[in-house]
Structure 1
Amino acid sequence: ELLETVRKGGGENSILHHTQRNKKLFVRQRLRLLLDEEPFLEFSPLAGLNLPYGDVPAAGYLTGAGKICGVWCVFMANDATVKGGSLYPIALKKQLRAQEIALQNRLLSVFLVDSGGAFLPLQSELFPDKLHGGRTFYNEALISAMGIPQVAVVCGPCVAGGAYLPMMAEEIVMVDKIGTLFLAGPPLVKAATGESVSAEDLGGAKLHSEVSGCTDHFAPSEKEAYECVRNIISTLNYDPLPEELGEFESPLFSQDELLGLAPRDYRCTLPVKLILSRLVDGSRFQEFKANYGTTLVTGFGHVEGYLVGIVASNGELSQDASLKGSHFVQLCSQRSIPILFFQNTAPPAAEPTSISKVGQLKAQASMMAAVACAAVPKITIVIGGCFGADSYAMCGRSFSPNFLFLWPNARVALVDSRHFCTNPQAGDNNCTGDDWELKHLRDKLEEESSAFYSSARLWDDGIILPQNTRQV
């Protein structure tokens, strides 16, 4: 239901205003014309929901990966039906994450620009810091220097600092009558000089294709603009990814059964091999150190024909499990095998520190170092709990996996809210006044650890249904 709501952008009235009055295509129609006729992966579709400054469906900015003329690309597209196309902090964060994915995976970038610029009341969260607006242009320069193509379509307003976005792309397409590009719009020109000028005369597609030379391609309509982009990409001579493998075996067990296997009680763990058997080709899994450190399952398997190393939580990340994980991750790095992490970390037990716990800390630190230094693609799926330092060793967000996805039942927090006791202990006469605070903290942790709270803030790359894990 949430996904269906988000797919409507700013709502039916906003879409009607956008398509009928402004004579523009809805952003999802634009993507249908741009991308090949096959499924694409949308990043963080639930970003922007229930934020302190209100709902911003899909952050008002669609990002994802799909094919154009058979070439894998990252697309970044403004949804002008959301908040009039204003750029909110969450949209900027989403854009920067898409650029990071393009950079990490050497994927071609396509921008569909239709924005009124930054939302000024929140300018302090958009402009001054290192990872604010200017970082977009810095990333564009780096991506270009690495020889990764970038193409932009100006299919709406492109104003002020945002005007640099298409300017730094290799090729630009502008759509007649609806695409405009300038630093200051007609109202500011009128205020500064007293001169009245139309948006089209000031920075329309004809002016920039015939006079300024800022655009490389003039498109009479949006449909022709996206055909032009497809033609550009077909002649780039750029496809850094290997050809897709042909036939592969499906798992022996139905992927639909994963819905019933998703962990709900994070204090105990379902044998993770039940989940792996529904994800790897032919349900074949070559386990590594099967009888040692059994609370972590490691081994090799194939997913849609591709060989991967698998590191999967099967209980508490003990000292033996951490040493085993460290050894296996180093093997994968040595052999250039991508790693899949299936994370369901057990909440840390409230026990006094002992010599064994110190040994566990050292072993976990060793695994963290191995994961951080592994020079192979890493994908993390949080299938249950994601708590405390164990999540770092299992390649959580701060360890920069190439992608991180959550199942809807996932919980992400420093500690599990269920570890908080709100009832006074026997013989404790001073805790009565603290009961309310503990209950308040527990409720806060419960709310903030949900998968939807995480995804709304872009702490991950999206929530996926368990049965779709293999396809993603």
Structure 2
Amino acid sequence: MTVLRSTLDTAGAAFAANRDAVLAALRDLDDDHARAVAGGGEKAVARHRARGKLTARERVELLVDPDSPFLELSPLAAWGTEFAVGASVVTGVGVVEDVECVVVAHDPTVRGGASNPWTLKKTLRAMQVARENRLPLITLVESGGADLPTQKDIFIPGGQLFRDLTRLSAAGIPTIAIVFGNSTAGGAYVPGTSDHVVMVDGGAKVFLGGPPLVRMATGEVSDEESLGGAAMHGRVSGLADHVAVDEVDALRIGRRVVARLNWRKRGPAPAAVVPPRYAEDDLLGVVGPDLSQPFDPREVLARVVDDSDVDEVKPRYGPSLVTAWARIHGHPVGVLANAQGVLFSAEAQKATQFIQLANAADTPLLFLHNTTGYMVGKEYEQGGIIKHGAMMINAVSNSRVPHLSVLLGASYGAGHYGMCGRAYDPRFLFAWPTAKSAVMGPAQLAGVLSIVARASAESRGTPFDEDGDAAMRAAVEAQIEAESMPRFLSGRVYDDGIIDPRDTRTVLGLCLSAIASGEVAGTGAGHGTPAYGVFRP
């Protein structure tokens, strides 16, 4: 056994201060999540229920297996924008008839479920999760289509939604549409391009053009039921495979459709699960709001991995990066965790080799971020930091095993890339509430701009405005600080959600289980041509 021995001082002042700061951040997040859960507000929800309808979250709750977890994705999408927090759609991974599925549920209490640019981005991200992890996709449909004032940002990229639905089907990944209300205009192609369609009698309306548009275009006078009602689609057009008597019945039928898929996982079955030896509650005090203060990522691993048991690789070489083998909820993982923030040449080379080893062993990789980036300076440039960092980025980019990323602390500069940030398509990416990510820290970025401006003034022979420089630095620092916070990034769907540190093990276990729906394979023998490009020596 190689059980980690924790040295975390849970009775110390630093731990208490970190814990208080994280709990305060979580309270702020609770308010933001409450806004997402509220949908269109009390009046809109009351009107919706008065029509005998369930809310989007009630539909999800009845769809998934009782007492099963639902891993909600991108709950703060559109935060900080003109649109409602949550982007008028609920997405996530849930268990339906013992099958992990991606669920997309339109929220009709927010502008009739109309799609704005963030709705589209959030939905496409959910569909990417379904495609990459081989998870059936269930769409709970009730949407007025595109939010017309923003059509310029939706119409052209929005076509990808229907393309991706058909590609899921072509890949053998089932797509199911359960239609509760309007699914009009382009929205009609959601059920139209899905494998299985359930429609609610008297509620579902699916048509390319409603009565007013039909009358304007053709002069024909028609009603909604004859144009696109469930009864018509069940008897005449054949679009509906199943017609439900009400919403609850529609969800029951949807569950039966999943039960008949004969779905089997292709990934390895997990080993026996052994809980960590240290309390997950301690994770609240490991990382504080001052990200310049280092922490030992082994203290995180001791509270996340099975039996707190890890096997470190190269523990004495490149000590600013921990590389280790472990299990989480029985699933094997290779861990890359930043220890002291900066990545040197040794850490980059160590990471490159470890990623190759994980691919040879068909083992998913978990990246735990706390990096300020690759080291700069004459000594390090001459020592080859660029080519060594490029080796790490090459390895991450072309690795074929599934990747998971969690932003624990800082995630700045090219270090964010080397540690498999969003642009490198990890299967899932989450952030802790005090994490930050940007091109560099706020003070560093403002300082760089100040140095450049001072040099420019000197080259022109003009006086340097010290007061203006101080004001500029303060403004830039405030801007970058705000834009590097997890809520800002989560609002733009740059992560899959901000999680309570205490939930890290549970969230990663759910992700690893979902990943195992598909094959888990690297670049080793038996998997075709090696995926890597040229490594510069």
- 2:190 is matched with which residue? 165
* Equivalent position SS for 1:471: helix
1:94 correspondence with 2:119 = no
Deviations 1:44-84 (Å, cap 9, x if unpaired)?
11111221xx1322111111101110011001110011122
Residue of structure 2 in register with 1:394 after alignment = 419
Q: Secondary structure at the match of 2:406?
A: strand
Q: Relative to structure 2, which stretch is displaced further, 294-303 or 264-273?
A: 264-273
Q: CA deviation at 1:5?
A: 2.4
1:35 aligns to 2:59 (yes or no): no
Residue equivalent to 1:459? 494
Distance 1:395 1:423 in 2: 28
Instruction: Using the TM superposition, give the Cα deviation of residue 267 of structure 1 relative to its aligned residue in structure 2, in angstroms.
Output: 2.4
Contact 1:251 1:282 in 2 (8 A): yes
Which of 15, 29, 33 aligns to 1:3? It is 33
Q: Distance in 2 between matches of 1:222 and 1:138?
A: 28
Match of 1:440 in 2: 475
2:529 aligned partner: none
Q: Does 1:79 align with 2:79?
A: no
What aligned pairs does 1:216-235 form with structure 2 within 5 A after superposition? 216-235=241-260
Question: Could you tell me how far apart the structure 1 residues matched to 2:187 and 2:287 are?
Answer: 43
Residue in 1 that maps onto 2:223: 198
Tell me the SS of whatever aligns to 1:67: strand
Compute the displacement of 1:417 (Å).
0.3
Structure 2 CA distance for aligned equivalents of residues 272 and 236 of structure 1: 42
Measured in 2, the distance between the counterparts of 1:28 and 1:471 equals 21
| Alpha-carbon distance between aligned partners in 1 of 2:118 and 2:439, rounded to the nearest angstrom | 23
- Does the C-alpha gap of structure 1 residues 109 and 313 become closer, same or farther in structure 2, counting only changes over 3 Å? same
For the 8 Å contact 1:267–1:347, the answer to whether it is kept is no
**Structure 1: segments with no counterpart, 5+ residues:** none
Aligned AA (1:219): A
Q: Which residue of 1 aligns with 2:397?
A: 372
1:213 pairs with 2:238: yes
Between Structure 1 and Structure 2, which shows a larger proportion of helix residues?
A: 2
Aligned equivalents of 1:402 and 1:422: distance in 2? 34
Aligned residues of 2:373 and 2:416 also touching (Cα < 8 A): no
Q: 1:297 to 1:246 in 2, by over 3 A?
A: closer
1:111 aligned onto 2:139? yes
Aligned to 1:312: 337
Distance 1:243 1:209, change over 3 A: farther
Q: How far apart in 2 are the matches of 1:410 and 1:444?
A: 16
Q: Distance in 2 between matches of 1:74 and 1:252?
A: 32
- For structure 2, the residue ranges without an aligned partner over 5 or more in a row are 1-29, 508-537
Q: Deviations over 1:224-263 (max 9, x none)?
A: 1111111111111122355864742111110011011124
Q: Residues 298-309 of structure 1 correspond to what in structure 2 (within 5 A)?
A: 298-309=323-334
2:494 is paired with a residue of what secondary structure?
coil
CA distance in 2, matches of 1:451, 1:127: 29
Deviation at 1:439, TM superposition (A): 2.2
The CA deviation at 1:418 is: 2.5
Q: After the TM superposition, which residues 183-332 of structure 1 pair with which residues of structure 2 at under 5 Å, given as runs?
A: 183-242=208-267, 245=270, 247-315=272-340, 316-332=342-358
Identical columns (%): 38
CA distance in 1, matches of 2:393, 2:248: 49
Within the candidate set 349, 365, 368, 1:342 is matched to 368
1:385-438 superposed Cα distances (whole Å, 9 cap, x missing partner): 110001111001111111110001110100110323499899985142333333
Structure number with greater CO (CA < 8 Å, separation at least 6) is 2
The 1:370–1:422 alpha-carbon spacing in structure 2 relative to 1, beyond 3 Å, is: closer
What corresponds to 2:439 in structure 1? Answer: 414
Residue 24 of structure 1 contacts residue 178 of structure 1 at CA under 8 Å; is this kept in 2?
no
Which whole-Å deviations, capped at 9, do the CAs of 1:132-174 have from their partners, x for residues lacking one? 1100111112111111111101111001111111111111000
SS of 2:506's partner is coil
Equivalent pair of 2:197/2:240 in contact (CA under 8 Å): yes
Deviates more, 1:244-253 or 1:388-397: 244-253
Contact persistence 1:60–1:85 (CA under 8 A): yes
What aligned pairs does 1:116-131 form with structure 2 within 5 A after superposition?
A: 116-128=144-156
Does the CA contact (< 8 Å) of 1:56 and 1:83 recur in 2? Answer: no
Q: Contact (CA 8 Å) 1:60, 1:79: kept in 2 or not? A: yes
Looking at structure 2, the residues matched to 163 and 240 of structure 1 have their Cα atoms a distance apart, in angstroms, of 31
The one of 67, 70, 76 equivalent to 1:46 is 76
* Distance (Å, rounded) in 2 between the aligned partners of 1:221 and 1:382: 43
Q: Give the superposition deviation at 1:39.
A: 1.3
Matched residue of 1:311: which SS?
strand
- The aligned counterpart of 2:464 is 430
- The whole-number CA distance in structure 2 between the counterparts of 1:42 and 1:170 is 24
Deviation at 1:358, TM superposition (A): 5.2
Larger displacement relative to structure 2 (198-207 or 186-195): 186-195
For residue 84 of structure 2, the aligned residue among 56, 59, 68 is 56
Give 1:353 deviation, angstroms: 3.7
Specify the code of the residue in structure 1 equivalent to 2:52: K
Which SS does the other structure have where 2:472 is aligned?
helix
Contact 1:262 1:466 (8 Å CA) reproduced: no
CA distance in structure 2 between the partners assigned to 1:174 and 1:423 by the alignment: 58
Whole-Å Cα distance in 2 between the matches of residues 191 and 23 of structure 1? 31
3-state SS of paired residue (1:287): strand
Aligned-residue RMSD, C-alpha: 2.0
Measure, in 2, the Cα distance between the counterparts of 1:216 and 1:234: 16
Give the Cα separation in 2 of the matches to 1:201 and 1:189.
12
Seen in structure 2, the aligned counterparts of structure 1 residues 231 and 270 have a Cα distance that, compared at 3 Å, is same
